[in-house]
Chain A
């Protein structure tokens, strides 16, 4: 018998009238067997998280959960009240949340947090809690459990926090573990470790439900993949079937949208077919030259003797794990941080060495597209103000400003309808388009893209990457593209810099660096990258 059997599950959020009801999920059926993994994949708004929460009775007070049956072993979960759910959570179903920093109480030690389930369900006598917690911490691969036991969440790295959360989820020895985007906040190497840990749990005979937006992440673990879109099941099958013979157009588009080395020069979103011709090699004309940059925060050497050149019309990819110093490097290039030593020149003239009041008039030449577009807009401003402000700075004549704003918006695929919208009335992809339009308004010599697509869904990411590729070709944009995602880097870059612990450890053509890495760190990075099992 299946550990968990879901038949025709639907989740509805009641609106003010029946017509306003929001159907988060419709007609979802699956069964979880011991030692098996069911993966539910979808983009934001697909209903995957609502499903995960409904399975532990946390769908929320105005959610209506209906199903033909929802069986945990032989128990009917549909008839459950709050008290019954409490007995199930932690004991029979463990739940691993996405962001370990906010999921762990900052005022309690890791030991207290992990021991919570044991205490709550009185699984072991009081004196037995600590030894059991140490055992659990060791079993999820946390080094030196005795020391970690008494530390707080902020003293642990992202990977260790995620391990602690998993330890807490398995502490009641539940038969089923639901992991909702367990690796999304982590970088590739740590992600690979967490995925290995989850596969060990699966091998132990637990049933695993893995929720993710990333097909590549689930591809190694899943025995059964369900692709959700707007709450509907669009694809349902074994990984082999889903990856080799996808049935739904949506799945095909989703698979095609994943950037990698193979997709370079090609459209990802499929709506703008382009010639695959790579940019012809031209005489290198250096635009931005960094030499011997150093930056220390206290004892930490965040940027350590970094030198590189970006030539006109070239996209240089900067890849590294979180904490590798790539964001600080981007801030130095932007002139937001001052390097302790080393210089940056822009078009042959000094840049980083300038005092602020002399750099300010030149600032329009180096522009940024940030990771979180919502945060990078003044919440009170409308699109017209956001782009207009940049034009005002470069003294663009007021008479032609509106036309110029429309031209810029058109170049990023937006139109007059969006002029009066405020950032929070736009979708994630539209916001990033506005951010690009603002960055282009001042006709910069260099565009810095700091994780510009990390917060976006795969299909939106594909559109934004296509947009940037088109702009690069049409405007001969010079870009520094910072990302932790090797696939994205390989897709967009003409040249790649790999950064680790503040140093550039490897540099070269993307295919060579990422297909035949020489430096051990690059090797580890490439090996950890989840890949789709497609030919």
Chain B
């Protein structure tokens, strides 16, 4: 059975993929659906949802279109989430592979660095990093990745420790392959599947961290994010709760979608492992 067929047979994966596809489409098509700056004033302030067909989800305190903000905010959430996870998984699996393959002092040194990052709460690290530097998108991505790369690093190292004792690694040594080539060509690709399954969890965590940073006003002020929308609605939580609830629901759906997709991927990859 092909990997794709295995993925299709896991209902969680399919639901997660559907949710994320809708979200990704909204994010991609945002400039077409709602051209112009989503932060501009579009109507009367605090318009209740479902009263004006032109502004289906109403407006906020300054009269900005909530739906436009939501769709544009999807871009920020997805970009930050994916970019941060990508950076974290790339750094983590590279460090983990090197530590596991080299062993000895290199392993000790790298793993103590991992320890150092792991004992600081990831969110505090991101908070400190962003408040020292300017809250631009790359800085936010780096800040989140700083707290998230240790998981993939540990997982990759554990996988590599087991894989490097396998016969096919000995076979690669016997034909005279260079150790670095063995690490990158034979070991890393085989160590990746569990790390990739973990990356869905990292994406979800990164999206939440980004929302939390924005909520505290540490996001990029020039772009709409769901976190900043929730923070915006906080002042009028009693009179217009929808301003916080709507982006909150979007956030929940995104994170659930990511988790479900991760489940599907894990099922697909683990079954391949078992066959191997």
- The A-contacting residues of B in range 185-217, CB under 8 angstroms, are 186, 189-190
A379 touches B276 (CB 8 A): yes
Q: Within residues 369 to 428 of chain A, which ones have a CB less than 8 A from any CB in chain B?
A: 370, 372, 375-380, 389-390, 393, 424
**Are B276 and A424 closer than 8 Å at their CB atoms?**
yes
B177 contacts the other chain (Cβ, under 8 Å)?
A: yes
Contact B167 A442 (CB under 8 A): no
User: A156 on the interface (CB 8 Å rule)?
Assistant: no
B residues in contact with A389, CB < 8 Å: 172, 175, 177
Q: Tell me the smallest distance from the CB of A110 to a CB of chain B, in Å.
A: 29
Contact A378 B275 (CB under 8 A): no
Cβ of A430 to closest chain B Cβ, rounded Å: 17
Q: Are A393 and B174 in contact (CB under 8 A)?
A: no
Known: A368-B171, A372-B167. A363 touches B190 (CB 8 A): no
A366 contacts B167, CB within 8 Å? Answer: no
In the bound complex, residues from chain B placing their C-beta under 8 Å from that of A362 are 176
B168-A364 in contact (CB<8A): no
From known contacts A424-B275, A424-B276, infer whether A378 and B168 are also in contact, taking CB-CB under 8 Å: yes
**Which chain A residues border B8 with CB–CB below 8 Å?**
none
Alpha-carbon gap, A363 to B175, bound state (A) = 6
A87 at the interface (CB under 8 A from B): no
Chain B stretch 141-186: residues in CB contact (< 8 A) with chain A: 166-168, 170-178, 186
Residues on B with C-beta less than 8 A from A442 are 175-176
Q: Given the complex of chains A and B, what is the CA–CA distance between A467 and B189 in angstroms?
A: 34
Q: Check A375 against B189 for contact (C-beta < 8 Å).
A: no
- Asked if A361 is at the interface of the complex by the 8 Å CB criterion, the answer is yes
User: Which residues of A5-43 are within 8 A (CB) of B?
Assistant: none
Question: What B residues does A377 contact at CB under 8 A?
Answer: 168, 171
Q: Taking the nearest CB of chain A, how far is it from the CB of B102, in angstroms?
A: 14
Residues of A within 8 A of B166 (CB): 375
Contact indicator B176/A360 (Cβ below 8 Å):
yes
Which residues from B are CB-within-8-Å of A334?
Answer: 174
Q: When A336-B174, A363-B175 are in contact, do A376 and B276 touch as well, CB less than 8 Å? A: no
Distance A424 CA – B168 CA, assembled complex (angstroms): 14
Question: For A335, A361, A393, which residue has the most chain B Cβ atoms within 10 angstroms?
Answer: A393
Bound-state CA distance A370–B167 (Å) is 8
Contacts of B276 in A (CB 8 A): 379, 424
Which residues on the B side are within 8 Å of A390 (C-beta)?
A: 175
Q: A393–B171 contact, CB under 8 A?
A: no
Nearest-CB residue, chain A, relative to B171: A376
B174 x A363 contact (CB < 8 A): yes
**Bound Cα distance from A360 to B168, whole angstroms:** 17
A324 at the A/B interface (Cβ < 8 Å)? no
Q: Are A361 and B174 in contact (CB under 8 A)?
A: no
User: In residues 79-126 of chain B, which contact A (Cβ within 8 Å)?
Assistant: none
Say which residue of B167, B178, B190, B275 sits within 8 Å of A376 (CB atoms).
B167
Asked if B175 and A336 make an inter-chain contact with CB atoms under 8 angstroms apart, the answer reads no
Which residues of A, 166-207, contact B by the 8 Å Cβ criterion?
Answer: none
Q: A376: which B residues are within 8 A, CB to CB?
A: 167-168, 170-171
- The CA of A289 and the CA of B164, in the complex, are separated in Å by 30
Contact B174 A368 (CB under 8 A): yes
CA distance A360 to B275 in the complex (A): 33
**With the chains together, A360 CA to B166 CA distance in Å?**
19
A378 touches B186 (CB 8 A): yes
Q: How far is the CB of B179 from chain A (nearest CB, A)?
A: 8
Contact A367/B175 with A378-B186, A424-B276 known, Cβ cut-off 8 Å = yes
With A380-B190, A424-B276 given, is the CB distance from A336 to B170 under 8 Å?
yes
Which residues of chain A are within 8 angstroms of B168 by Cβ–Cβ distance?
375-379
The distance in angstroms between the C-alpha atoms of A99 and B172, with both chains bound, is 30
B171 touches A379 (CB 8 A): no
Distance between A429 CB and nearest chain B CB, rounded to angstroms: 18
B190 and A336 contact, CB distance less than 8 A: no
Interface centre among A335, A364, A376 (most CB of B within 10 A): A376
Given A370-B167, A424-B275, decide whether A379 and B174 contact each other with a Cβ distance below 8 A: no
Please indicate which of the listed interface residues A364, A378, A379 has the most CB atoms of chain B within 10 Å of its own CB.
A378
A362 to B178, CA, bound (A): 12
Give bound CA distance, A406 to B188, whole Å. Answer: 29
Shortest distance in angstroms between A391's beta carbon and chain B's nearest beta carbon? 9
Contacts of A372 in B (CB 8 A): 167
CB contacts under 8 Å to B, within A323-378, are 334-336, 360-364, 366-368, 370, 372, 375-378
Q: How far is the CA of A364 from the CA of B176 in the complex (A)?
A: 6
B216-229 to A contact mask, C-beta < 8 Å, 1/0? 00000000000000
Collect the chain A residues with CB atoms within 8 Å of residue B173's CB: 336, 363
Q: How far is the CB of B194 from chain A (nearest CB, A)?
A: 14
Bound-complex Cα distance A336 to B174 (A)? 8
Give Cα A429–Cα B276 distance, bound, in whole angstroms: 17
Q: Which residues of the partner chain A approach B186 to less than 8 Å between Cβ atoms? A: 378
Which of B167, B170, B176, B190 sits near A393, CB closer than 8 Å? B176
The A439-467 residues at the B interface (CB cut-off 8 A) are: 442
Question: Which B residue sits closest to A373, measured CB to CB?
Answer: B167
> Assuming A363-B175, A424-B275, A442-B175, what are 6 further A-B pairs, CB within 8 angstroms?
A361-B176, A368-B171, A376-B171, A379-B276, A393-B176, A424-B276
Q: Give 7 CB contacts A-B under 8 Å.
A: A363-B175, A375-B167, A377-B171, A378-B168, A378-B186, A378-B190, A380-B189
